[in-house]
């Protein structure tokens, strides 16, 4: 698991705009970003040990969220060749072998596109395909529609990669008016340095940053 600790000054500076000490499950969604085999499984193009380390914390928090009555949403990074879902051609140069391999892992129907088998997904959870790093700018618009339909006001965010799809979605969520909590020990990227940089910037400007134990405690201590 990542060895990262936010400096006190960053927590204090960021707390003025984004500090959330209570959770109302009725208006909260746990959004788990891209815990797919392509990003988690050993030997896959983006798979790494840090992502495998967060499987258990995510599953534990998802169970607590469901028990409290919150919405649980899982996203999958997805590739399409059909506009408007398709990415601009210049962003995926398929003449590069590594890029081609990466693109093929995120096509629907492949085992690598699916969620990592150890993820404890409940039949009542939502599963959303997204076609951009930030779920809110995805042309399909499924995440925002699902949140609005359920009256969600707060996002608790987990998953991978912290500095790519998690951060992109958290930033846009903040700008759209959602309260955002990013989980320090249920998000992962490739290195400790990237994790630290992403969490630092999120804490300063876009989100509260807490660990799973804190959020579970907030759920347990809520009135009623």
Catalytic residue positions?
34, 130, 165
Size of the chain, expressed as the number of residues it contains: 224
Separation between Cα atoms, residue 5 and residue 7, nearest integer Å: 6
Q: Distances from the Cα of 141 to the Cαs of 32, 68, 135, 145, in angstroms?
A: 16, 27, 8, 6
The two three-digit tokens of residue 54, written as one number: 């967060």
- The terminus-to-terminus CA distance of the chain in angstroms comes to 34
* Range list of H helices, 48-191: 49-53, 55-68, 97-105, 142-149, 167-175
Q: Which 8-state DSSP code applies to residue 161?
A: -
């Amino acid at each position: 698991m990542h060895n990262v600790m936010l400096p006190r000054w960053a927590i204090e500076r960021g707390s003025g705009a984004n500090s959330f000490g209570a959770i109302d499950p009725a208006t909260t969604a746990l959004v788990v970003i891209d815990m797919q085999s392509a990003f988690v499984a050993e030997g896959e193009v983006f798979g790494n040990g840090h992502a495998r380390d967060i499987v258990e914390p995510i599953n534990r928090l998802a169970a607590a969220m469901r028990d409290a009555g919150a919405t649980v949403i899982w996203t999958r990074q997805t590739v399409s060749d059909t506009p408007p879902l398709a990415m601009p051609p210049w962003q995926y140069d398929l003449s590069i072998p590594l890029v081609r391999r990466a693109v093929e892992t995120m096509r629907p129907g492949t085992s690598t596109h699916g969620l990592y088998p150890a993820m404890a997904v409940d039949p009542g959870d939502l599963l959303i395909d997204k076609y951009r790093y930030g779920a809110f700018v995805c042309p399909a618009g499924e995440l925002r529609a699902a949140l609005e339909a359920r009256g969600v006001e707060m996002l608790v965010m987990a998953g991978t990669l912290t500095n790519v799809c998690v951060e992109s979605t958290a930033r846009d969520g903040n700008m759209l008016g959602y309260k955002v909590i990013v989980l320090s020990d249920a998000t992962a990227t490739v290195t400790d340095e990237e994790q630290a940089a992403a969490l630092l910037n999120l804490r300063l400007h876009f989100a509260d940053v807490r660990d799973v134990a804190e959020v579970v405690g907030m759920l347990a201590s809520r009135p009623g």
